[in-house]
Amino acid sequence: MTIPAPLAVPERKEKSAPQKAMEKLGLVRDIDLALHLPLRYEDETRIVPISSLRDGDTAQVEGTVRDCQVQLRSRRQLVVRLGDDSRDELVLRFLNFYPSHQKALAPGKRVRVRGDARGGFFGLEMVHPTFKNVDEDTPLATALTPVYPTSAALPQAYLRKAVASGVKHADLSDIVPPELVPKGMTSLRESLQFLHHPTPDVSMAELEDKSHPAWQRLKFEELLAQQLSQLQSRRERDLQRAPRFDINPDGLQEKLLAALPFSLTTAQRRVVEEIGGDLQKEMPMHRLLQGDVGSGKTVVAALAAAIAIEAGWQCALMAPTEILAEQHFRKLIDWLTPLGIDMAWLTGSRKGKGRREMLGKVASGEAKLVVGTHAVIQDEVEFAKLGLAIIDEQHRFGVQQRLALRGKLATQALEPHMLMMSATPIPRTLAMTLFADLDISTIDELPPGRTPIVTKVFADGKRDAVIARIRDEVEQGRQVYWVCPLIEESEHMDLQNATATHAQLCEALPGHMVGLLHGRMPAAEKAAVMSLFSGGQMAVLVSTTVIEVGVDVPNASLMVIEHAERFGLSQLHQLRGRVGRGSVASVCVLLYSGPLSYTGKSRLKAMAETTDGFEIARRDLDIRGPGEFFGARQSGAPLLRFAELTLDEHLVKSARDAAQQMLDKLPQAAERHVARWLGGRAEYLKA
């Protein structure tokens, strides 16, 4: 019997370190490389005499090596003396070097050197300059040399060759019809070729502030891809079907309005009508409800839920933290239980028999409104008939979590209506770009009776004076928050900080209850602390940022935020919104530790100057940029690498107009343009 020889298995070639590094940077396709633009440029188009160099100059010189030797000082170093026709000498110093350096820099070799000149013990020197061997007739570069964003495993020389290959082989033909491109812009290929290798006479200011026509073309193309993706997403959703809810003029919504102990503001009534209009359509609602801290979004959510419930469907409300979810639950129970609406409560901490009972009520449809944290979207949670999904603080949930909630409607032919809520208002330019696929409703007024909050900024040295102010407040029966920062790198240190502050305030306020709240406490203990504070028995609550949203204690009149410079601007505004909820004048004290960075100063200045959430959001966008502003909708940052929303609003408008026309008349070109710029990332926008 002849045994066949085993088949030869081709060896898998291991990728090199630079190749792996390129993949990590997302440089996979030729177009990825072509769009990988320089951070800065080096001018290798001219040579300056060594004699003209001054301390601090960055320049390129050329000359002959006069001496090269390894010196043993505190460490081995290669010291080279270079001379040119000016008869002056320049010292080149290498602290890390290889035998190849000594060979290339041997006496008599002619080299071209570029680096930063600085004063040394023996005159001017360059430490670790770039260099290459040349002949007397080696030509100079004719364009500026690009310096690309890279990593340690990816040398500039390797990356420059890869990018040049990408520019050469990528399809850079103009997809956008010329009549839709703003006037004065060069073609995409010309723009990219120029930005990778600008001519020496270019205005460096135009390159750095990205106002050069070549930059403008790239920004327009990028914004167009983003607008096309958003508009495409909206049109695709308009083709889907959702349950249609009829509104009974004398139904559950009107009964809830009549039972509320307060009247809606004009703004609340307007957004309730906008949401009601959506729920009466067969297209799935995809609406963002934005309103400043304390503007009354929860009652709007309750009125939307009432419409769905009366139509025979279930509603789910998902919040990012147990404290916020419980706050919603308590309010909704007070409003809806008297109307005969059964509710379920689902969080990660709810276990055992109670959890099984809740899951059964949700699955049978007995629970008409389900409130909870991310536990609402776990696999074991099955809805009988989910028609409306409400997500509070939606930017704190990931794309996959939002998609999972949409998938809870058992009837695959239908999509649930989606209402997303946020207390961080969206600046207009951001709404036109990252949120262009959403309908946006805005509550732009606070309920009557709210007192303005005065914000004061103090250095940490004023701590004793702040504690004295706390003593005055609690003696008058008021309540106080003291918030300590949460530092990701050292949560344990943070916890000690909160504990130390708690101990200090307990000692300073004898006879008054001072509580402590932080993320590591068991849920039952957190609930007990919050119950004491909400009920008025606890005078001061020392907390980490777990109280950022959802806590509503009208008697709290003073908020102290320690190390305020460590918080983001929108987070500071959220925390400040925990006071000023009653009729008593309220104060927010921002304690900081110096020295302050420019960003830290800008944040504290903005907080002191305005309590308007929309103005705060605008300044936050200016300070942080769109990439960080909203967790960037988990896809916003990579979608806008070049455009700057605060500067490029005119291009956003041009891109919106062009996107409409391309989708209407050139759908295939629109698809190619999105694929070129976004690849698979456009899918994230559908959440």
User: Could you read off the pLDDT of 303-313 as tens digits, one per residue?
Assistant: 999 999 999 99
Q: Does residue 623 belong to any structural domain of this protein?
A: no
Structural domain total, the chain: 4
- Across residues 148-171, what is the average pLDDT? 91
Statement: residue 632 has pLDDT above 50: no
Rounded Cα gap, residues 582 and 552, in angstroms: 10
DSSP assignment of 568-616 equals -HHHHHHHHTTS--SSS-EEEEEEE-SSPPHHHHHHHHHHHH---HHHH
- Across residues 86-105, what is the average pLDDT? 90
Is the separation of the CB atoms in 561 and 603 below 8 Å? no
CATH number of the domain within which 133 lies: 2.40.50.140
> DSSP state, 15?
P
Percent of the chain with pLDDT over 70: 89
Tokens of 252: 């559950």
pLDDT of residue 684: 47
Statement: residue 36 has pLDDT above 60: yes
The predicted model scores a pTM of 0.71
Same domain, 264 and 353: yes
DSSP assignment of 498-538 equals HHHHHHHHHHHSTTS-EEEE-TTS-HHHHHHHHHHHHTT--
In whole angstroms, how far apart are CA 331 and each of 267, 325, 335, 463, 582? 20, 10, 6, 36, 17
Same domain, 397 and 533: no
Q: Give 373 or 545, the one with higher predicted confidence.
A: 373
CATH number of the domain within which 577 lies: 3.40.50.300
> DSSP state, 365?
T
Same domain, 34 and 163: yes
Round the average pLDDT of the chain to a whole number and report it: 85
3-state class of 42 per DSSP?
A: strand
Statement: residue 652 has pLDDT above 80: yes
User: What's CA 465's distance to the chain center, in Å?
Assistant: 36
Q: Does residue 624 belong to any structural domain of this protein?
A: no
> DSSP state, 55?
T
Q: Does residue 124 belong to any structural domain of this protein?
A: yes
Q: Does residue 649 belong to any structural domain of this protein?
A: no
Q: Does residue 586 belong to any structural domain of this protein?
A: yes
Q: Does residue 3 belong to any structural domain of this protein?
A: no
Statement: residue 436 has pLDDT above 90: no
- Across residues 413-433, what is the average pLDDT? 80
- Tens digit of each residue's pLDDT (9 = 90 or more) over 221-269: 999 998 998 888 888 888 889 999 998 888 899 999 999 988 999 999 9
Domain, as residue range, for 595: 453-610
**Final residue of a domain: which of 117, 140, 163?**
140
Statement: residue 642 has pLDDT above 60: yes
Same domain, 346 and 467: no
Same domain, 167 and 188: yes
Estimate the share of the chain in helix, then strand, then coil, as percent rounded to the nearest 5: 45, 20, 40
Same domain, 364 and 419: yes
- Across residues 496-518, what is the average pLDDT? 88
- Across residues 620-633, what is the average pLDDT? 59
In whole angstroms, how far apart are CA 190 and each of 145, 179, 210, 297, 523? 17, 18, 16, 50, 60
**Final residue of a domain: which of 443, 477, 507?**
443
Residue 107: count other Cβ atoms within 10 Å of its Cβ.
12
Same domain, 382 and 471: no
pLDDT of residue 409: 67
Same domain, 325 and 439: yes
Question: Which of 114-123, 227-236, 453-462, 489-498 has the lowest average pLDDT?
Answer: 489-498
- Across residues 432-461, what is the average pLDDT? 82
DSSP assignment of 173-227 equals ---S-GGGSPTTPPPHHHHHHHHHS--TTS-HHHHHTT-SHHHHHHHHHHHHHHH
- Taken in order 237, 238, 244, 246, the sign of the CA dihedral is positive
Rounded Cα gap, residues 571 and 551, in angstroms: 14
Same domain, 461 and 382: no
Statement: residue 8 has pLDDT above 80: no
Question: Which of 346-350, 440-444, 465-469 has the lowest average pLDDT?
Answer: 346-350
Same domain, 365 and 468: no
Per mean pLDDT, which of 354-358, 399-403, 545-549 is the most reliable?
354-358
Q: Which one, of 653, 673, 685, lies nearest residue 172 by Cα?
A: 673
pLDDT of residue 451: 72
Same domain, 66 and 31: no
Question: Which of 552-561, 580-589, 640-649 has the lowest average pLDDT?
Answer: 640-649
> Exposure string (b/e) for 401-425, b if CB count within 10 Å is 16 or more?
bbebbbebbeeeebbbbbbbbbbbb
pLDDT of residue 1: 46
Q: Which one, of 562, 577, 571, 343, lies nearest residue 458 by Cα?
A: 562
Q: Does residue 474 belong to any structural domain of this protein?
A: yes
Which run of H or of E encompasses 14? Answer: none
**Final residue of a domain: which of 108, 140, 172?**
140
Same domain, 133 and 155: no
DSSP assignment of 75-97 equals SEEEEEEEE-TT--EEEEEESS-
Backbone φ, ψ for residue 179 (5° rounding): -70, -15
Q: How confident is the model at residue 374 (pLDDT cuts 50, 70, 90)?
A: confident
Statement: residue 488 has pLDDT above 70: no
Q: Does residue 186 belong to any structural domain of this protein?
A: yes
